[in-house]
Structure 1
Amino acid sequence: MVAALELYLDVDATRRIRTLWGALEAEGIPSMASLMESRHRPHVSLAAARRLAPDAVAEALTGFAVGRGLTLDLDFAGQFVGRVLWLGAVPTAELLEHHREVHARLVQAGIEVWDLYQPGRWVPHCTISLRVPNPMMGAAVRRCLEFLPIRATVVGAAVTDHANDISLAL
């Protein structure tokens, strides 16, 4: 199970990413569109852990407009070990400072997140697929590049745990 603090993207960016998901699905490449009964929406996660207590995260971030007003430039495609395909957000000073502030507040509240999401290690990204078949990775990356660049404005945030049907808007 995975719980995350997700940043949601404006309508145009969301539409373009969902169109990319559909294009991959049409080619037999599973995307986030078909994962967990289509519960996912395009997002960039600021934090992730096996479990996050939504109320504790919300309390830790009280008075802080999580993600609001941030602009994300999705300019490249990447791959994590384990067949994970993603679109990378340019790590601007503003985005990295926002991420650091979120984590400082979470740490102060005693909320632990995975090391890969800690400041200095985090790779800002929008996951496209968690399970691209190895022989299809090249074609999947090429399809992603056809959709780039995507400029997105963050319009919302939530603490989610899709496996447990949890979504708390912040």
Structure 2
Amino acid sequence: MTYAVNLYFNQEAENYIINIWRQLTALEKGKCLICCNSRPHITLAIYEGIDLEETQKRLKAFARNIHSFHLQFLQIGIFPQPKGAIFLTPNLTDELFKVHRDFHQAFMDYQGQGWDYYKPNAWYPHCTLALETPLEAIPCVLGEILKVFQPMEVCVESIGMASLDPIKYLMELQLKKE
């Protein structure tokens, strides 16, 4: 089984991003993120074949020491290959990298089961807007996003864990208030 550990945002930010997803769904140019039960997030790690109960216990202990923090989404990025992903890029704050670094330190013994893209020194934090977008459709999808995109501030309020394919939310832990 594949599991993701994600950071989640305040409700206003989630609603804003879901609204973009709704508009993109109408284009039919890639994966429907609403249809697959996705939720706006930034992924800290994705693991294959870990002990779920043990991981959840450790994530609860980790979350106790994390404070909520603010990020800004000021730009749009693209991973054209192999996933055809278009995403929001957060400003790269010390808090964001500290949470990522501390998480991977706390789960260091999981390193062999983690996806390389999310490991320290290889991670590009992002919040996906479009996925599995054919290369020839990227300009169209990007054009739709640019019609509604406004730079925004979000508050990272919780950390959680989900299983993938299909997405099922397994736990969510509120972070300490700033």
TM-score, normalising length: structure 1: 0.85
Query: Is the 8 Å Cα contact of residues 9 and 154 (structure 2) preserved in structure 1?
Result: yes
Between 124-133 and 62-71, the greater mean CA deviation after superposition: 62-71
Letter of the 2:5 counterpart: L
Q: Which residue of 1 aligns with 2:135?
A: 134
Q: Which residue of 2 aligns with 1:69?
A: 68
- For residues 120 and 26 of structure 1, the distance between their equivalents in structure 2, rounded to whole angstroms, comes to 36
Q: Which residue of 2 aligns with 1:43?
A: 41
Q: Which residue of 1 aligns with 2:170?
A: 167
Secondary structure class of the residue paired with 2:57 = helix
Spell out the pairing of 1:6-45 with structure 2 (5 A cutoff).
Answer: 6-30=6-30, 31-34=32-35, 36=36, 39-45=37-43
Q: Are 2:140 and 1:147 aligned?
A: no
**Cα drift, residue 51 of structure 1:** 3.9
- For residues 70 and 111 of structure 1, the distance between their equivalents in structure 2, rounded to whole angstroms, comes to 29
- Deviation string, structure 1 residues 25-83 (Cα, Å, up to 9, x no partner): 1223334112x3xx111111111123443322233334333764121211211111121
Query: Is the 8 Å Cα contact of residues 8 and 156 (structure 1) preserved in structure 2?
Result: yes
**Cα drift, residue 162 of structure 1:** 3.5
Letter of the 2:21 counterpart: W
- For structure 2, the 5+ residue unaligned runs are 174-178
- For residues 2 and 79 of structure 1, the distance between their equivalents in structure 2, rounded to whole angstroms, comes to 24
**Cα drift, residue 111 of structure 1:** 7.1
Q: Which residue of 1 aligns with 2:119?
A: 118
Q: Are 2:55 and 1:53 aligned?
A: no
Between 64-73 and 149-158, the greater mean CA deviation after superposition: 64-73
- For residues 151 and 29 of structure 1, the distance between their equivalents in structure 2, rounded to whole angstroms, comes to 28
Could you say if the C-alpha distance between residues 166 and 23 of structure 1 is closer, same or farther in structure 2, counting changes exceeding 3 Å?
closer
- For structure 1, the 5+ residue unaligned runs are none
Letter of the 2:62 counterpart: F
Secondary structure class of the residue paired with 1:72 = strand
Seq. identity, %: 26
Query: Is the 8 Å Cα contact of residues 73 and 90 (structure 1) preserved in structure 2?
Result: yes
